[in-house]
Amino acid sequence: MIKKFKMLFSVSNVLNTWLKADLPRLPNKEGQRVGVHSLASDEYTCCWQVHIIDNAYKSRHKTIIACEANSRFIVFIPVDAKLTLDELAARLQMEWQYSLAETLKQLRAIPSSDIAMLLSELAELHMDTHWVKNTDLSISGHISDAALWVSQTLAEQGLNELPSDLCTDLSIHINTEKKRAKNQKQKFMPIVKMMDYCQDILMEPQPLPAKPDLASATHTASESAAENSTLVGNNIVQLSDYRR
């Protein structure tokens, strides 16, 4: 059975203007400023904060930065021409799943066959896309940090725009670094939280089995990759072991 699922893209004022879209705002909550609602993903809705930056002053080359609300998982989309909302939704959908897969491959945390199986099941979700004009201020800092990485990378390599492979490399680097969110006491790795979230939304509503220590696995994978680009077999997490 195909599970219905909502993708909520929360667009900054700058991106809303660039898209020339007349997007609605989220319903106002009592005592909260208009247009700055907090976002939270759950088993029925995946929320992304989306922004756009100029690669250089008044340049036609720009970079769209999207950050998932819970995991702070970051993806980049280079653009040099206007996109429709449908085109942008398709690009975002493709890019976050591709970045997820490439990051897992880089870490060698799970077998390639299980990564393919994960992407296949994500593709089976019926994604109902919604757009709003809103900025979650707690996510803005993570997007600003990602924007600095874009600017520094372009300057160091003398580029006008990020090629797709560099977007992926930058995403992998950021998503395997420890981060801290205001509503969480301990630091976390975005790829770990995103992987956990994907598992949660794919599971049927039933008592959940214990999850493996993916954080430990990815940490071990990162260390091994740095030393000899090999992940020992004992440290490989079998995705099939904790699927529904």
Residue 173 to residue 103: CA distance in whole angstroms: 8
CB-based burial label for 29 (10 Å; 0-12, 13-18, 19+): exposed
- Give me the phi and psi of 76, to 5 degrees please: -125, 140
Per-residue pLDDT of 98-119, as tens digits, reads: 999 999 999 987 899 999 999 9
Average pLDDT over residues 154-179: 94
Average pLDDT over residues 191-214: 71
Average pLDDT over residues 112-134: 92
pLDDT of 180 = 75
Per-residue pLDDT of 55-66, as tens digits, reads: 998 889 999 999
Longest dimension (CA), the chain: 55
Higher pLDDT, 236 or 31: 31
Other beta carbons within 10 angstroms of residue 10's beta carbon come to: 27
Strand partners, 53: 63
Q: Provide the residue ranges of all domains of the chain, joining segments of one domain with +.
A: 4-23+38-242
Residue 130 to residue 120: CA distance in whole angstroms: 23
- Give yes or no for residue 134 having a pLDDT over 80: yes
Per-residue pLDDT of 185-201, as tens digits, reads: 788 999 999 999 998 99
Average pLDDT over residues 14-42: 87
Classify each residue of 173-186 as buried b or exposed e, where b means 16 or more C-beta atoms within 10 Å of its C-beta.
ebbbeebebeeeee
pLDDT of 5 = 86
Residue 243 to residue 199: CA distance in whole angstroms: 7
- Give me the phi and psi of 128, to 5 degrees please: -100, 110
Report CA torsion sign: 46, 49, 50, 54: negative
Q: How confident is the model at residue 233 (pLDDT cuts 50, 70, 90)?
A: very low
Strand partners, 64: 52, 77
pLDDT of 75 = 98
Average pLDDT over residues 143-148: 96
Give long-range contacts, CB 8 A cutoff, 24+ apart: 152-156.
154/55, 154/56
Q: How confident is the model at residue 179 (pLDDT cuts 50, 70, 90)?
A: confident
Beta strands in 12-54 (DSSP E): 45-54
Higher pLDDT, 22 or 219: 22
Q: How confident is the model at residue 173 (pLDDT cuts 50, 70, 90)?
A: very high
